[in-house]
Amino acid sequence: MSDRGSGPEEGSSSFSEPFKTALAVLSAALHTRLELFVTELEEERERLKQTLTLTLLAIFGVSIGLILFTVFIVALFWEKGWIPAIGILSLLYFSIAVVAAVRLRSAILKRTGLFPATLAELGKDRDHLKASARE
Write the pLDDT tens digit of every residue in 99-112.
Answer: 888 887 887 787 77
Reported in sequence order, the residue ranges of 37-96 that DSSP labels E, i.e. its strands, are none
CB neighbour list of residue 37: distance below 8 Å, 6 or more residues apart:
115, 118
Reported in sequence order, the residue ranges of 1-135 that DSSP labels E, i.e. its strands, are none
Question: What is the predicted pLDDT for the residue at 98?
Answer: 82
pTM, two decimal places:
0.51
Coil, strand or helix at 78: coil
**What is the CB neighbour count within 10 angstroms for residue 115?**
17
In sign, the C-alpha dihedral spanning 51, 54, 60, 66 is negative
Coil, strand or helix at 79: coil
Question: What is the predicted pLDDT for the residue at 1?
Answer: 47
Segment 28-65, tens digit of pLDDT: 888 888 888 888 888 888 888 888 888 888 888 888 88
Question: What is the predicted pLDDT for the residue at 12?
Answer: 55
All structural domains of the chain with their residue ranges: 2-134
The total number of residues shown for the chain amounts to 135
Kindly report the three-state secondary structure assignment for every residue of 115-130. CHHHHHHHHHHHHHHH
Instruction: pLDDT band for 69, please (50, 70, 90 cuts).
Output: confident
